[in-house]
Amino acid sequence: MEITINRESKTPIYLQIKKQIEAMINSGKLPPNFILPAERVLGGRLKINRSTVIKAYMELKAEGLVESRVGSGTVVLAPFSKDGIQEKMYVPPLRWNQLESRRVNKSNEQTINNILSVFEKEKVISFASGVASEDSYDMELLQSIQTRLLEKHREKVLMPTPVDGCSELKHTIRSYLQQNGINAGTKQIMVTSGSQQAVEFLARLLIEPGDVVLVEEPTYIGAIQAFESYDARLIGIPMDEEGIRLDILETCLVKYRPKLIYTQPTFHNPTGMTMSLNRRKELLKLAYYYNIPILEDNPYEELYYEGEKLPSLKSLDNNDYVIYVSSFSKTISFSLRVGYVVAGENIINRFIKFKQITDIQTNTLSQYFVHEFVAHGYLKNHLEKIRNKYRKKRDLMIAQLNKCNVEGMRIFVPGGGYFIWLELPNNIRMNELIKLLGDKGIIVMPGDVFYPKYNIESNFIRLNFSYPKEQDIEDGIEKLLDCIVKCSNSNVKVGHPVETVLNPYL
């Protein structure tokens, strides 16, 4: 083993030794199990201090090229081989659950995923979803819009847009909002990948672990998940026929000093209730007095089946307390994933930073599609069509439910939206009902998932009427009522815990 020392070099001598031995090992000149000269011997041969050789050998050991063996000295190791290691040693499975953060580990809720997975199943009647009817689309119109988009904008629909949305769609949303009494500049509007993303962004912006958020009880499951993912403490406020109860709300405002009030004032999910105009005005007064912002989630506003639209909280708010989120998922298409948020510029700028690290931008083609659909007046005719269709389906479902007189069952009839909220007799065990329905191929949403911490004292289910075909509504509700009667007539009495068991078809 020949080593040459250049005493004029700026490279330290120990590194010169280390690099030369390393080169000989890598070239195979020093084979595995070759014993290097003892530190004192090599130091004497090179006329250097023994400590310099020790330092060189330590560098080689740190890189796994040599090791010290009792009775042998410093020995060259075999070259590292991943394939060789894997062939000879047991590799345990990686335990991802032990690597997850505590925040993620607290929530394993997958109800929304379970609902959406239903659309790949056959021979199932789903009353659990929250999507439009498959036959609500004019496919020839959609195809012509898609063709015109490519002809008009060409490569632009395949290119990136600004993080907060393409300017064409933002101007279209601005005009659309003005028709609904909301005046906002384009800098106060941000396009999101569905309104759910905006809810999550606000939770990320405002919530520290332990912060209180006041919500209607029950409330939208996606909002529960978003707030709880940031360790918020959710306090449910009961509702009456006019919406959220302000007497209880004010008590909680004083007691908890919450960070935020979350509300769905129009065709509430899951109950279908609508907050009265007077209640909306009084809610704003409380927010102003106690200096608490409001998140208004309003995706169902255009789906009214009787009467006139009530003004949104945002349109009544002159003090920039209301952050407004909505979506075209319920009125045009769920799969386009185009929503939007209206807020002060400072909030929008924060959201832009969040979106940059989340998904960079909302799908370009989807944005231009929604722009064309709304700006060219197609949305108005489409809304008239689906209002008539969904009103008919709602009325059919209510008529079917009324065919059976079950003591303790109450139907909450919505004035719009997608859902009927159904209260069931207290002597029904929900897990048994859900299982029985699953055996018959019927899927419903159990009510407890809409309550923070599943804290529910009565039996409820949510029924969607927008998606199923009319014949499925007739057949499915008949089977549902049959199962309710069977569970009501069982020997099970009040006092058993209500347990959520997701349907096996989900």
Q: Smallest Cα–Cα separation from 311: which of 279, 337, 340? A: 279
Instruction: Give the pair of three-digit tokens for residue 494.
Output: 């009040």
Note the pLDDT of residue 91.
Answer: 65
| Token pair 């004010």 in the structure block, residue | 250
Note the pLDDT of residue 121.
Answer: 54
Count the Cβ atoms, other than its own, within 10 Å of residue 422. Answer: 22
Q: Give residue 498's identity as a one-letter amino acid code.
A: V
Can you tell me the distance from the alpha carbon of 311 to that of 289, in angstroms, rounded to the nearest whole number? 21
Note the pLDDT of residue 455.
Answer: 77
Note the pLDDT of residue 305.
Answer: 97
Note the pLDDT of residue 422.
Answer: 97
Q: Give the length of the chain.
A: 506
Q: Taking CA 312 as the corner, what is the angle to CA 310 and CA 317, rounded to the nearest 5 degrees?
A: 130
Instruction: Give the pair of three-digit tokens for residue 260.
Output: 């935020």
Which helix (H) or strand (E) segment is 115 a member of? helix 111-116
Can you tell me the distance from the alpha carbon of 449 to that of 460, in angstroms, rounded to the nearest whole number? 10
Can you tell me the distance from the alpha carbon of 159 to that of 167, in angstroms, rounded to the nearest whole number? 14
Residues pairing with 416 in the sheet: 304
The predicted model scores a pTM of 0.78
* Segments of the chain with pLDDT less than 50: 85, 119, 491-506
Can you tell me the distance from the alpha carbon of 489 to that of 474, in angstroms, rounded to the nearest whole number? 23
Note the pLDDT of residue 457.
Answer: 81
What CA–CA distances, in Å, run from 60 to 12, 22, 35, 483? Answer: 15, 7, 13, 74
Instruction: Give the pair of three-digit tokens for residue 128.
Output: 């659990």
Q: Taking CA 44 as the corner, what is the angle to CA 40 and CA 50, rounded to the nearest 5 degrees?
A: 40
Note the pLDDT of residue 286.
Answer: 98
Note the pLDDT of residue 498.
Answer: 36
Listed as own residue / partner, the contacts of 358-361 with beta carbons closer than 8 Å and 24 or more positions apart are 358/197, 359/193, 359/197, 360/160, 360/163, 361/160, 361/161, 361/162, 361/163, 361/165
Q: Within 13 Å and on the Cβ side, how many CA atoms surround 420?
A: 29
Q: Per residue in 128-186, pLDDT tens?
A: 989 999 889 999 999 999 999 999 999 999 999 999 999 999 999 999 999 999 999 99
Note the pLDDT of residue 120.
Answer: 52
Can you tell me the distance from the alpha carbon of 245 to that of 239, in angstroms, rounded to the nearest whole number? 5
Count the Cβ atoms, other than its own, within 10 Å of residue 431. Answer: 15
Note the pLDDT of residue 307.
Answer: 87
B/e letters for 171-196, b = 16+ CB within 10 Å, e = fewer, are ebbbebbeeeebebeeebbbbbbbbb
Domains of the chain listed by start with CATH number: 13-85 (1.10.10.10), 110-132+382-488 (3.90.1150.10), 137-380 (3.40.640.10)
